[in-house]
Amino acid sequence: MTGGWWRDAVIYQVYLRSFADGTGDGVGDLAGLRGKLPYLAGLGVDALWITPWYPSPMADGGYDVADYRDIDPRFGTLADAGALLDEAHRHGLRVIVDIVPNHTSDRHPWFRAALAAGPGSPEREWYVFRDEPNDWRSVFGGPAWSRVPDGQWYLHLFDAAQPDLNWDHPDVRAEFLDVLRFWLDRGVDGFRIDVAHGLIKDPALPDLGLDHEGLVEPPDRSDHPHWDRPGVHEIFRSWRELARHYGEDRVFVAEAWVDSPQRLARYVRPDELHTAFNFDFLRCPWDAARLRSVIDSSVAALSAVDAPATWVLSNHDVTRHVTRYGGGLPRARAALLLMLALPGGAYLYQGEELGLAEVEDLPEEVLQDPTWERSGHTRRGRDGCRVPLPWSGAAPPFGFSTGTPWLPQPAHWAEQTVAAQENDPDSTLWLYRDALRIRKEHPAFGDGGLSWMDSPPEVLAFRREPGVVCVVNLGPVPVALPPHRKVLLASEPGDPGGELAPDSAVWLSA
């Protein structure tokens, strides 16, 4: 179908516990988020994606859900969630919530019941219990199996506190349809599906044949026993069918780490999900030829199923792109203009509008990502992109909280607070606002196609119709700009003149 709001939406990811704290306990919450809705509306995004807000022991930052139909008291109440949805809608912002179907928390009543009921019981069938483990590894490090006191083992592709559900069980399917209904009835505009590529396992649970470290998997295998199995699609068709009863503007976005754009496109066929994160784009280094190839293959694969492309540079699981690209702020600012000029929609991650870099020097004793422990202290994990946002003031907690933030903020963020950037038209915050405003106003942006223009090998240059040209210089020397009527926006302050500096980008009206 064409014309849905989600086909060219810019969706802002709120990592709730690090966004804004309204209660003073050092953890972001719904009260804090509500207070910042005017900021988000002013930024110019179309929708918010809020990371899990459910009751959770927080073994994995809320991706270990103990009750899918309530709000964690640290974040607020169901009434607060309802009020947030209403108020966001009044600001013209849609709200997508995170749904975590691959696993529950080990405190979820189902897992408690499965443990209590013992081997061979119907309750154990809700999860993946076996008498012997296989060689699968947890994404966070270490084995994917833990033993319970009666001797059986259960599967957890993530932390031991996140037992995998058995999606071959009809009760599991029925339960999630009901959970979706619960939130659709409360007015959410859609769901971000956590680990969408993981739900179905080969029932024979064959060994992967990993090396002794468990780190090397055979590359590009199409018959992986627990990732991207064909059986997941039937589940998502049933979800789409359900959402259709609520109208075509309730949407799903898949978190699916798969091998190729063609495999990704299978998740967004017309009777399945609406969009999927484009991790090929996110993973692509700062290299013109490689980016161009990812852009072309993404657009081709997705348009073949009539789905819009989407683009993403950062999220709560990866190193922030200011740091990842290795070029500091200029590359990140140029990457924004590239991303927002591409056909389709885009996902922003909180703090990227402030140009925040990864916090790479968090002391070991504050690290909270389970990856740190499970990898035997060899991988620090994802806390460095999850540090609470700096809103105002000259020192931590930078207006995030009246208490002590759950992760410490770097002192040098004083220059990058929202308040500091408000007053500086050359700031990254202003670049985001300008870019989002122009993107919304100008008919060339969003859904549609692109045509590449001739350019030197280290430059990306393409046209969007009517009349916009985006040029990005990824090389080490300045390049001449193509003929144009005016510069709509430049990633670096000041008029670029006839030349585009290294690590910068422009939108031209041509």
| Run of H or E residues at 154 | strand 153-155
- The residue among 25, 172, 10, 174 whose CA lies nearest residue 93 is 10
Q: Tell me how far the alpha carbon of residue 187 is from its chain's centroid.
A: 21
Q: Which is nearer to ligand GLC, 272 or 317 (CB)?
A: 317
Residues 236-255, one symbol each (x = binds ligand GLC by CB under 6 A, - = not), give -------------------x
Give the chain's largest Cα–Cα span: 75
* Smallest separation, CB 60 to ligand GLC (Å): 5
Residues 160-199, one symbol each (x = binds ligand GLC by CB under 6 A, - = not), give ----------------------------------xx----
* Smallest separation, CB 141 to ligand GLC (Å): 12
| Run of H or E residues at 155 | strand 153-155
Eight-class DSSP state of 499: E
Euclidean distance between CA atoms 450 and 445, whole angstroms: 10
Q: Which is nearer to ligand GLC, 8 or 159 (CB)?
A: 159
Q: Cβ(66)–Cβ(112) under 8 Å? A: no
Q: How far apart are the first and last CA of the chain?
A: 31
Helix (H, G, I), strand (E, B) or coil at 399: coil
- The residue among 300, 405, 404, 392 whose CA lies nearest residue 354 is 392
Q: Which is nearer to ligand GLC, 196 or 474 (CB)?
A: 196
Within 13 Å and on the Cβ side, how many CA atoms surround 437?
A: 11
Q: Which is nearer to ligand GLC, 254 or 506 (CB)?
A: 254
Q: Tell me how far the alpha carbon of residue 382 is from its chain's centroid.
A: 13
The answer to whether residue 503 forms part of the interface with ligand GLC (CB under 6 A) is no
* Smallest separation, CB 485 to ligand GLC (Å): 43
Residues 391-430, one symbol each (x = binds ligand GLC by CB under 6 A, - = not), give ----------------------------------------
* Smallest separation, CB 125 to ligand GLC (Å): 22
Measured at CB, which residue is nearest to ligand GLC?
Answer: 63
Catalytic residue among 8, 164, 194, 272: 194
List % helix, strand, coil for the chain (3-state, nearest 5): 30, 15, 55
Q: Which is nearer to ligand GLC, 17 or 316 (CB)?
A: 316
Q: Which is nearer to ligand GLC, 172 or 295 (CB)?
A: 172
The answer to whether residue 228 forms part of the interface with ligand GLC (CB under 6 A) is no
Binding to ligand GLC (CB under 6 A) within 304-333 occurs at 316-317
Active site residue 255: yes
Pairing type for strands 129-130 and 153-155 reads antiparallel
Per-residue tokens: 184: 């659709």
Which of 158, 325, 372, 432 touches ligand GLC by CB under 6 A?
A: 158
Helix (H, G, I), strand (E, B) or coil at 50: strand
Q: Which is nearer to ligand GLC, 278 or 428 (CB)?
A: 278
- Any residues with CB less than 8 A from the CB of 89 and at least 6 apart, and which? 95, 187
Work out the burial of residue 204: count CB atoms within 10 Å of its CB; fewer than 13 is exposed, 13-18 middle, 19 or more buried. exposed
Binding to ligand GLC (CB under 6 A) within 435-454 occurs at none
Euclidean distance between CA atoms 321 and 282, whole angstroms: 9
Binding to ligand GLC (CB under 6 A) within 13-72 occurs at 60, 63
Within 13 Å and on the Cβ side, how many CA atoms surround 32?
A: 27
Active site residue 454: no
- Any residues with CB less than 8 A from the CB of 128 and at least 6 apart, and which? 154, 155, 163, 164, 165, 166, 201, 205
Euclidean distance between CA atoms 119 and 124, whole angstroms: 7
The total number of residues shown for the chain amounts to 510
* Smallest separation, CB 257 to ligand GLC (Å): 8
Euclidean distance between CA atoms 428 and 412, whole angstroms: 16
Q: Cβ(507)–Cβ(469) under 8 Å? A: yes
* Smallest separation, CB 99 to ligand GLC (Å): 11
The answer to whether residue 100 forms part of the interface with ligand GLC (CB under 6 A) is yes
How many residues sit close enough to ligand GLC to count as binding (CB under 6 A)? 9
- Any residues with CB less than 8 A from the CB of 302 and at least 6 apart, and which? 261, 264, 265, 268, 308, 309, 344
Q: Which is nearer to ligand GLC, 8 or 317 (CB)?
A: 317
* Smallest separation, CB 474 to ligand GLC (Å): 28
* Smallest separation, CB 316 to ligand GLC (Å): 6
Q: Cβ(16)–Cβ(25) under 8 Å? A: no
* Smallest separation, CB 159 to ligand GLC (Å): 8
Alpha-carbon separation of residue 236 from 31, 101, 168, 240 (angstroms): 33, 11, 14, 6
Euclidean distance between CA atoms 392 and 388, whole angstroms: 12
Catalytic residue among 29, 46, 228, 255: 255
Q: Which is nearer to ligand GLC, 58 or 205 (CB)?
A: 58
Residues 255-274, one symbol each (x = binds ligand GLC by CB under 6 A, - = not), give x-------------------
Q: Which is nearer to ligand GLC, 189 or 194 (CB)?
A: 194
* Smallest separation, CB 369 to ligand GLC (Å): 8
Residues with a catalytic annotation lie at 194, 255
The residues of the shown chain that bind ligand GLC, judged by CB under 6 A, are: 60, 63, 100, 158, 194-195, 255, 316-317
